[in-house]
Structures are given as C-alpha cells and as structure tokens.
Amino acid sequence: MSKPTIPKGTRDFLPHQFAKREYIFNTIRDIFVRYGYSGIETPAMETLTTLTGKYGEEGDKLLFKILNNGDYLSKADTRALETRDTHKLTPSISKRGLRYDLTVPLARFVVMHLNDLQLPFKRYAIQPVWRADRPQKGRYQEFYQCDVDVVGSDSLMYEAELIQIFDQVYDQLNIPVEMLLNNRKILAGIAETYGIKDQNFGAFAIIIDKLDKISEEDVMLQLTSLDLSIDSSRQLLKTLQITNLEELYPVLAQSALGKKGIGELQEVLDYLRLTPLHNKLSINLTLARGLSYYTGCIIEVKATSVQIGSIGGGGRYDDLTGVFGMKGVSGVGISLGAARIYDVMEELNLFQDLQIGQTDVIILSLDEASHKYAFQLGGQLRASQVSVDIYPDLAKFKKQMKYAGRGSYRYALIIGEEERASGLMTMKNLTDGSQLKVDLQEVAAFLNQQVDESK
Amino acid sequence: MSKPTIPKGTRDFLPHQFAKREYIFNTIRDIFVRYGYSGIETPAMETLTTLTGKYGEEGDKLLFKILNNGDYLSKADTRALETRDTHKLTPSISKRGLRYDLTVPLARFVVMHLNDLQLPFKRYAIQPVWRADRPQKGRYQEFYQCDVDVVGSDSLMYEAELIQIFDQVYDQLNIPVEMLLNNRKILAGIAETYGIKDQNFGAFAIIIDKLDKISEEDVMLQLTSLDLSIDSSRQLLKTLQITNLEELYPVLAQSALGKKGIGELQEVLDYLRLTPLHNKLSINLTLARGLSYYTGCIIEVKATSVQIGSIGGGGRYDDLTGVFGMKGVSGVGISLGAARIYDVMEELNLFQDLQIGQTDVIILSLDEASHKYAFQLGGQLRASQVSVDIYPDLAKFKKQMKYAGRGSYRYALIIGEEERASGLMTMKNLTDGSQLKVDLQEVAAFLNQQVDESK
C-alpha cells in the first residue's frame, strides 16, 4: 500500500502543536468558566434541514454532507439520477451534514431543550466546525471555534461582560490587542440619515466593511452605487470617522434608531468604566461585520503587533431562534479564533517560556536492578503528582540520553548502582544541561517546586 | 418551521451532563499525562482508503461517508449509476469518511510523521468516533474514545504501565473494578496443544469469548465444530479455568508460543509486584478479545458493582502499521469507554458529592446602585480566581432568587443599600440554605476556601 495521506484542508496535531493548542483552549475555557458560563456539546452531525439555508447560498455549498447508510440509491430521487442533477439528488441520498458553526447548533439546542434551561442561558462551546472552503495557508476545512453566548436577555451588561472576556483572554495569553466597538443601530441610523434605502442596508454594511482593505476613494465610489451623491458619500465617510459619541449625537438627531444605538453603546461603556480593561477599547463606526443577523452592538478584536486581521468578534442578534420557530429570544455572543491566536502566539514567540506539554522527568537506568528500581520510583513520584516517563529497557546510555533530550522532558533522573546505594539521585536539567544530586526522599518535592517556579 | 431535531443516534450534552463528562475526561487525561503520554489530534475526516478494509466487512458498512463537494455526479461512475449499484458508486462520489476508531488514525499518523517522532512514541487521544450502528439504549453513533498507546517498543514494561493506568483511573473515579489479563500467545498455545488448526484460531477466540454469555455446554458444542472431540473440548475448558501460571506451564510444555506467552505474563506480573495496585488483577484464560490484531497480552476491565460488561480494554498488536506499508512496528494500548464510565458513575451516585460544573457565586442586586456595585465586585472576585455570575438586571428579588436556586451556583451574594453601607455582604449557601455575613474584603478568600473544602 502506498503511503497514506489525509484529506486536503485537514491536518494532524503533533504533540507540541496539540499541547500549545490545549494551552490556548484551557486559558479561554478557564475565563469562560470564571464568568459563569457552562459548557455544552452538540453532535458533529446535524440534520441537513437544520443547517441548510442558514449561511446563505455560498454557505450551503460549503456544507459537508454525509451519505445515507445502506443502499441509499434505492431511495434516491430517480428523476434527479436520470438528469444527473446533483443539486436535486443530494437531499434524497443525504440527510445529515457536519456542523458549519456553533451558532446555528446553539439556536437548535435552545429550542429543543428550552424546558431544561433557565433564561438567560450562558453557554460556552469549544468544538471543531467543518467547511468545504478551498484550502489555503491558514485556512482549513476543519477548525475549532471557541464561542460564548448569552441567550434570552436584553441586558447590555452582557455586552460589557463579553468585552471583559475578550480583554482577559488576550491579556492572559500576552497578546496585545485593540478592541473595536460599534452598534448596528448606529449604522442603520447613519444610513437613514443619509437617505440610504432599507433594502440597500446590507450592501451598505458590506461596503463600509471594506474600509480597512480598499482606499477611501473606492469606498466612496461604491457608495454612490447606492444612490448617494459624491458629496453625501464624502460627508458620510466623515461621519464614520467620529469616535466620540457626544459628537455623533447631533448628526443622528433625526434617527430614533441611531439614537437608540448611541444609548446602547453609552450604557455598555458605563459598565466598563466600573472596572479597568487591560487593552484599548475604541468606538469605530466603520466596523460593520458582514453577518446579517447582528442587530445591536458589534465588536471585533485586532492584534496590534501582528498583521493578521481579526482574531475575535461578535455581537448581538435579536432573533437567534426565530428560524426554528421560536420568536423573541435575543442573543449576544463572541467567538475567538483559536487558529489565528495560535499563529499570533507563534509569531510573537509567546509559547517559548511556557514549557508546554513537557513531562517533568524521565528515569534512565544503567542496569537491570536499577530499571526495576526506576519502575518503583516512578510509581511513587506519580503518586506525588509528578509526571514521569521511564525508559523502557536497558538500551545503551547514549541512546537513552538521546531519547531524553528530544525536548519532551524537563529533567532526566539517572539511576545506577551508586545511586541505589547512596539514595542520592542524579538529576540532569535538560534545558540548561546542569546536573545535581537530590536525596531520594526529596525528588518529588524538588520536581514539583521546579514546575511551580516555571509557571 | 417545525421543531428541529438531531440525527438518530446522536445527542446533545446539557450543561450538567457536559460537566460530568469533562470531569471524567480530565481525570483520565491527568493520569495519561502523569505517565508521560502526549496528546495528539487527528482530523475527524480521513480519506476513505485509509479507513476501508480495516474493520472487516461489517465495519466498512458502518463507516459514515462524506459526499464530495460540488457537482459530484459529473465524476460519478456512470455504469454504477445506470445499474443503481450503490456499493460500486460510493467510491466515485465520496472520498472521505468519519473516523471509526482512534487506532487506525494513529497508525496512519505514525507512518506519515515518523520523521518528527522518536520511538517509543507514547500518545493519548480523547476524541469522538462515528459508527452507523443501529442506535439503541447506551449505544450511539457518535461517542468518545479515550485511548493511550505506545508505538515502537517491545518492552513489557508498557503492559504493566497500562495496567497501572487502568488501576489509577478507576481508583480516582471511585469505581471498583476487576482487571482481567491474558495473552494471545497462550491462547494460541492452547489451540496448538489441543490440535486446533491455525486457520480456525480466529473462530476459536470468538467462541471462548462467549464463555461469560452462553453456557459451558454450548461453548463445548461450538468447540466440536472445530474438529475437537467432546473429551478434548471438556479438557480444553478445564485448561481455560487455570488462573495460576505455574499450573499452566506443564499443560503447554509442548508449545513454544504458549510458553512465550506465559513468560510475557510473568514479566508483566513481576513489574506489577513492585508497586501496589488498588484493584484486583487476575489471570483469566477465557479472555480472548475479538479483535484479530492482538498478538500478545490482552486486558479487560469490568466494573464489579454494576452489571455493564467491559468498561475498558486493550492489548498488544505486533503489526500496527503494516497495513500502511511500515512493517515491524509493535504497539500496545488501552481504551477507556467514557460513555459506560459515565453510566456506571451515575448508577453508583458518584457524581453527587463532586459539585461538578457549579459557579462559585451569583451576585443579586436590590437596586440600581447595587447592580453597578455588583458588576464592580464581580470583576474583583474573578481576578481572585472566583467564578462569578451576576444577575443582569433589577428583576424582582423572588425572580432573581429562583434563577440563583436552579442548581448552578454554590452561593448567592445579595447586595442592597445596607450591604453597601456596612461592607458586610449577605452570602446564602444555596446547598443548605444557611446565610451569613462576610466582610467585603474576605469574600474571595471565603469562597475560595469553600471550594477547596468541597474537593
């Protein structure tokens, strides 16, 4: 058989990669939990009817669909088979798809389990999602989303809380970021004020979302396609530069919705004034976020020291569960991009000092009796919470040391006849190569102390 | 739209279920790590050629296959379409499948990444797998496996180590178990001794595996189908009752393979005599384990206080990667059944005292100023590692208390004008209903202490 491969757009995580990613997940999870969010999990497979139509036409194409089991052709749409109509055939041979994000499954979950939940329902989820996107550098067909959402409350305290969570996570991970805040109602107010028709609001949001990618001139040009004069376009772009809500108020004086949006932002900022943030938070009216379901505050996080685009975002959506027949349930949530966070941390060398994924000690033995001794000692150390590996046989010492030196261990503990006789263990620090003797009784305490100090 | 559903055989994990399962995973993972195993992760999707043919004909049928994206019919096998031959059509419209277990992906991983690994390679994986089995009570189409394996060493120390891991995990989880140990070489030796032909060995293993399900008489009857006389069958069954290796030795005196198996078990037991086990370990020659790839020691774990069958098992397979073209790489590993462990713990009421998944405190407020105060206090407590939820608005106190009492919190901290003036916080223990006053400065220490004590 030829050498095996994995599907395009997927990847394996080697031990050091896995450990780094776990470090990110654990940091994020700990903060979610500290803010009172509960974990839930939904299955990887959802029925296709749950997924289809929720992500636009493009999204539907990117869903991974699962073939029905058994003799699926016997129940296939005969006409679609005869006309080779893939699109029509699919629903008759595939009932399930892989989840595309964590938001639609959350909405489905809330509707199905409403009797078991009390609102507001605060949940986090850290799970992979799958999209049949064309693979490219940094873009995979399987990737993790880390989401935290509140369902069933209009309180703007949650917007403030979610901003605190962003702030804490990136502070904890040592990634300097700037957090940008806006409100869809303000954007709607601006559109209203400048006479952009309701049906053009989506297009308007998409255009201004491009402000950090294309030139202001080009954005202006695109705005005129929405029946805006050059002058109004210029004026509108000036409005978008406003970062002070006091200044914005008179501009939107005629828009009730716009003023409501300003009020919401003000209330969120009032909350946040009560506790200090580690990172800069600024009002940015050019932030639009493409997703059409946002209706209130929107937020986005950018790493300030690396060119990588957004590494987190979210907002409020007033009708989370309407699509599943349950109206009037508001949601607000944020999502952290674990893969990009990983890349930023690599680029900033932030993993280096963390000694992630290392086993505390590997025990090497010079003779048969020492190997037995090692097995015994290993058991004792593990009972004292030390992580221990034992070289499994009496290979040449050089070979054992090579294995020990592959970067997976903090210390090597070397046992020979002398060590057994004296009870003084030889400990080699595998990071700096230094060596010292530690009394048998002290080994666990010594190693636990070293690990604590490295944290 | 009608109420949404999830696919047959899959399930959602509600917060309390998720928290319990995480508790099991964390306990298992901590022990894996303490024994020096590294986590890896492979993608949910593998290419179908990697999966097909590895699990027998039945297994192939249970693979979930993913439809190729785009216009898959344009590349479909025309002849298979015309003759409605599902079996022949599938490879032409599906290139990927969901992983069925964690062992085949491990073998594929080792072959692909050999240059980045040093042998012996000790890895753990805790990931879901998917099988299109007919759903029934306790059997799902998506479930987690917790696997730990060593690749690339023949040392029997690892057999001993894996038994220690079983022992530790179940001890830590408070599940009383018995561990059964056997060796495939001994079974082969017994087959040889009683004149069972090589090509019948698989059938032989399957028959004796039934000894705990069907009567001894029926097993004897089935053995005669392998050209064994009634007398030999009776004799063979008597041999299988032997639990003492000394006693077995003369029986297998003529089988080199059988004696090798005895020697291997003896060496494993020699290791284990060096450190005490918490649970009973016994030699059980009727243990066969169906999977054909085992070649050495095999082990199985049974809960002793609950009727549920095996809750863990594993063994040595001498040719892990041969199927991917890499010969001579031995593996040994065990797998823990998380779903069954969960069920056993529920049945034994073992989750009850763990206070799993609870937030330390929820802060309730009686007036606007207190709500602001709560938001501020929440920030401070979280900075001291306390997990905090804050009721998001000024709902009636009864409503707030109802929310607090839903079982997700240990304490409610109630703030009104009086509390703000005195700095003495009212803390309600939500488990026993008792109430006390705690000085503002002491709240974090108080809560951290309560949590520590409950562990």
CA dihedral A42, A46, A49, A52 (to 10 degrees): 90
* Bridge partners for A429 per DSSP: A411
Minimum mean pLDDT range among A80-89, A155-164, B37-46, B304-313: B304-313
Contact B4 A47 (CB under 8 A): yes
Model pLDDT for residues B279-290, shown as the tens digit of each residue: 999 999 999 887
Q: Estimate the crossing angle of helix B184-193 against helix B230-240, to 10 degrees.
A: 150
Model pLDDT for residues A369-405, shown as the tens digit of each residue: 999 999 999 999 999 999 999 999 999 999 999 999 9
Nearest residue of B to residue A150, measured between CA atoms: B392
Residue among A273, A263, A321 nearest A296 (CA): A263
CA distance B342 to B430: 26
A56 within 8 A of B13, measured Cβ to Cβ: no
Binned at pLDDT 50, 70 and 90, residue B1 comes out as low
Contact A6 B108 (CB under 8 A): yes
B2, B5, B8, B12, best to mutate vs chain A, most A CBs in 10 Å: B12
Nearest residue of B to residue A324, measured between CA atoms: B1
Greater confidence, A56 or B162?
B162
B66 CA: distance to closest CA in chain A (Å): 4
Q: Does A85 touch chain B (CB under 8 A)?
A: yes
pLDDT at residue A354, as a whole number: 83
Contact B67 A64 (CB under 8 A): yes
pLDDT at residue A214, as a whole number: 86
Q: Which of B70, B132, B274 sits opposite A376 (nearest CB)?
A: B274
Model pLDDT for residues A262-312, shown as the tens digit of each residue: 999 999 999 999 999 999 999 999 998 876 789 999 999 999 988 888 899
Q: What is the mean pLDDT of residues B131-150?
A: 93
Model pLDDT for residues B345-372, shown as the tens digit of each residue: 999 999 987 888 899 999 999 999 999 9
User: In A, residues 172-211, which contact B (CB 8 Å cutoff)?
Assistant: none
Nearest residue of B to residue A108, measured between CA atoms: B4
The helix (H) or strand (E) run that includes residue A88 is helix A86-93
CA distances (Å), origin B193, targets B107, B201, B207, B236, B248:
34, 12, 17, 9, 12
Please give the order of strands across the beta sheet that includes A359-365. A388-390, A359-365, A409-415, A424-429, A435-439
Minimum mean pLDDT range among A44-53, A198-207, B329-338, B402-411: A198-207
* Bridge partners for A390 per DSSP: A363
Q: Token digits for A151?
A: 């369902």
Q: Does A115 touch chain B (CB under 8 A)?
A: no
CA distances (Å), origin B410, targets B88, B279, B358, B432:
59, 34, 7, 10
Q: Does A14 touch chain B (CB under 8 A)?
A: yes
Model pLDDT for residues B310-319, shown as the tens digit of each residue: 899 999 998 8
Is pLDDT at A1 greater than 80 in this prediction?
no
Residues of B in contact with A36 (CB under 8 A): 359, 362, 387-390
Q: Does domain A359-454 have CATH number 3.30.2320.50?
A: no
Quote the strand ranges of A68-176, DSSP E.
Answer: 94-98, 121-130, 142-151
Q: Which of A12, A22, A61 sits opposite B42 (nearest CB)?
A: A12
A289 CA: distance to closest CA in chain B (Å): 26
B436 CA: distance to closest CA in chain A (Å): 22
Q: Does A440 touch chain B (CB under 8 A)?
A: no
Residues of A in contact with B21 (CB under 8 A): 41
pLDDT at residue A319, as a whole number: 86
> Cα-flanking dihedrals φ and ψ of residue B85, to 5°?
-95, 90
Q: Which of A74, A141, A382 sits opposite B35 (nearest CB)?
A: A382
B192 within 8 A of B185, measured Cβ to Cβ: no
Is pLDDT at A98 greater than 80 in this prediction?
yes
Model pLDDT for residues A330-374, shown as the tens digit of each residue: 999 999 989 999 999 999 999 987 888 899 999 999 999 999 999
Q: Confirm whether the ipTM is greater than 0.90.
A: yes
Contact A3 B122 (CB under 8 A): no
B398 CA: distance to closest CA in chain A (Å): 15
User: In B, residues 119-158, which contact A (CB 8 Å cutoff)?
Assistant: 120, 122-123, 128, 130, 132, 141-142, 150, 153, 155, 157-158
User: In A, residues 290-319, which contact B (CB 8 Å cutoff)?
Assistant: none
Contact B4 A375 (CB under 8 A): no
Contact A2 B382 (CB under 8 A): no
Q: What is the mean pLDDT of residues B137-166?
A: 96
Minimum mean pLDDT range among A340-349, A445-454, B24-33, B108-117: A445-454
For chain A, where do the domains classified as CATH 3.30.930.10 start and end? 15-49+100-347
A307 CA: distance to closest CA in chain B (Å): 28
Quote the strand ranges of B184-296, DSSP E.
Answer: 280-283
Model pLDDT for residues A233-247, shown as the tens digit of each residue: 999 999 999 999 999
Q: B15-49+100-347: which CATH number, 3.10.20.340, 3.40.1050.10, 3.40.50.2000, 3.30.930.10?
A: 3.30.930.10
Q: Does A328 touch chain B (CB under 8 A)?
A: no
Q: Token digits for A437?
A: 């003797």
Q: Does A40 touch chain B (CB under 8 A)?
A: yes
B247 CA: distance to closest CA in chain A (Å): 26
DSSP for B94-159 reads --EEE---SHHHHHHHHHHTGGG--SSEEEEEEEEEE--PPPBTTB-SEEEEEEEEEES---THHH
Q: Token digits for A278?
A: 């580690």
Q: For all residues of chain A together, what is the average pLDDT?
A: 94
Q: Does A375 touch chain B (CB under 8 A)?
A: yes
Q: Which of B142, B379, B392 sits opposite A158 (nearest CB)?
A: B392
Predicted model pTM = 0.95
Q: What is the mean pLDDT of residues B113-125?
A: 95
